[in-house]
Structure 1
Amino acid sequence: MIKIMLIAGARPNFMKIAPIARSFDKTNEIEYKILHTGQHYDQNMSDIFFEELGIRNPDYHLGSGGGTHAQQTAKIMVEFEAICEKDRPDLVVVVGDVNSTLACSIVAKKMHIKVAHVEAGLRSFDLTMPEEINRMVTDSISDLFFVTEEQGMVNLKKEGKPDSAVHFVGHVMIDNLYYQLSKLEKMPSETFKTTEYKQQHTRYGVVTLHRPSNVDDKNTLEAVIDSLSSISRTLPLIFPIHPRTRKNLETFGIKPAENITLTDPLSYMEFLNLWKDSVVALTDSGGLQEETTALGVPCLTLRKNTERPITVTQGTNELVGTSKKKLMVNFEKIMAGNWKTGRKPDLWDGRAAERITDIILAP
């Protein structure tokens, strides 16, 4: 029996560990526990949230959110070490690139516990991004690397990782997308509060914006909102707004155009119900670049780089940075029906978690 600790620090992390947990449930060779570091407080993460994911509530909750990057990382490390001392796993599985990923990897490795990194090998090559540092350090000490796209294999090979430890398995986030989509299709439309908006707007775009480089500087945020306001004159936009972004809009005195509808943050199912039928997604998120590619929805990413290049080379995503000219040129292509159709990347078939389980159990 292998004892495994699944680590999650924020809501997107739970969407990545959920398919793995469901896969583990199908075997009697793995005993696993779920640890929530509490890195991000999220009121949408109720009991219903875990029920929707088809997983149990976390076995451990550290409640270590808040503070600077260093404070948060340190809190998680201290508390996770105590957990490992009393309930030592054989393997710690971390996902993505948040501070929890970095903190728990370091603790496990120093306690001589093996580390598996899901979404390994992704690189933006932009060291101003905290997530890039988390990815690089985690991969530098991990024992098993589970890769979502071919470029991740290339990156890890260049960094000297042994071929025997690197596994191209597909993407657990896409596993979860298909799982949730199948559930959503069985739910009545009146379940969702955004249904009214969809009924009023047959064509619309969705916006997500939270990255510090876009929202913490007044001039940058003003320019982005000006671009979105221009787009909204042609296509109404709905913007589930991150608390950080809302606070900065208020602090800087920036007002989006009337045709941009601001809402509170949405649950995963609520947001999926919204963006899957949109004309375009405008985002600085990493995950939404991938999910839109999986469902063939046009995506314009308000960043100069991406650690998920397959969404551009094979998918429906395009990098536009914060240039209004580039954004408008690409937006007009989408509205004219002149957008790349893209294709679903290899192994994005909903079975990544099964492959991960098989590799962990392999003799």
Structure 2
Amino acid sequence: MRHKTLTGFALGSACSLFLASTSALATPQDNHLKNTVDASIRPLMQQQKIPGMAVAIIAKGERHYFNYGVASKDNQQPVDNDTLFEVGSVSKTFSGILAALAQAEGKLQLSDNASQYLPALRGSAFDHISLLQLGTYTAGGLPLQFPDEVQGEDKILDYYNTWKPRFSPGVQRQYSNPSLGLFGYLAARSLGQSYEQLLEQRLFPGFGLKHSYLKVPQDQQQHYAMGYDQQDQPVRVGPGPMDAEAYAIKTSASDLLQFIAGNLQPGQLDKPLQQAVASTQSGYYQVGDMTQGLGWERYAYPVPLARLVAGNAPKMATEPHPVQWLATPEAPKADALYNKTGATSGFGAYVLFVPSKQIGIVLLANKNYPNQERVKAAHAILKELETAK
């Protein structure tokens, strides 16, 4: 498999860019792809004042990397293939994989009630909420974030035990870190290890990821990009309740593309992971044009830009939406687009893949910018890849 890297460097805060190729003897097709990515990414960075971005693409079995700007405005270190970005809620796709892996190994059933896997929850609302409902944000209205005062294991447990559903379980989709976080936590309990151990010892190695972390080790700190908030102040994600399960992964564009490659061609994975991938890409219910998987959100392919933008609009994360459950889980589809956004205070991520086209796209930035702009940029690149000879 060929790998090509094209890099861009930001000059000053205005993000004026020039590109220098580090790949040998680029073909006309490579140059066309470079021009396509440039046309989407360079204006985006200037408009959104993004210091640095990494773009990774898989198409026709080849992987391409395009690096822009700086990982840190302080030392002007350029983004490269090893730069680590916070990917926020893209982390949720790994919780989906872990729960699906536990089911494949007979350690849980998604139809089981959540309290079955944590005795301390018995007698709470979670006696009547399934793992699948937790993993698809339909537990009954768990909020987007934990209240600020919920810190530490005891208060987290108290929160879950005293929480009262706003809706009947399974009726409304309410995007939620507490919901998906508990889902991942209970999946890990069923496997007899901590979530952190399972992620770092099973999932990362299982997909061939070598530069992905929950806590960036000291010898990798030089690769960890600095994030920038809406006031352009430096910021990185801090610890929080259920952070590992919901939003705490730091990874590189090349590692994330490796993860996408495993989703595009799961046959290269071991058998339990193959089954897990199928479960995460299966459809469980519909909200408008979107079919909900475990972590992944699926659309019939091809997808008009307006439909993809609407499915990733802010109200999808902040408002409840009635769901239409499928009679039985719908198997993964080749003619589908799977995607997931993710963000922390200082970073923005977006990934998509289309199995029938064997195309995957990763966009990572060290600034949190609107989802619709991420979708527009990735969709423009996708359209060009679809028509490439």
**TM category, shorter:** under 0.3
Structure with bigger helix share is: 1
Greater RCO (CA < 8 Å, at least 6 residues apart): 2
TM-score w.r.t. the length of structure 2 is: 0.25
Normalised to the residue count of structure 1, the TM-score between the two structures is: 0.26
The structure with more strand, counted as a fraction of residues: 2
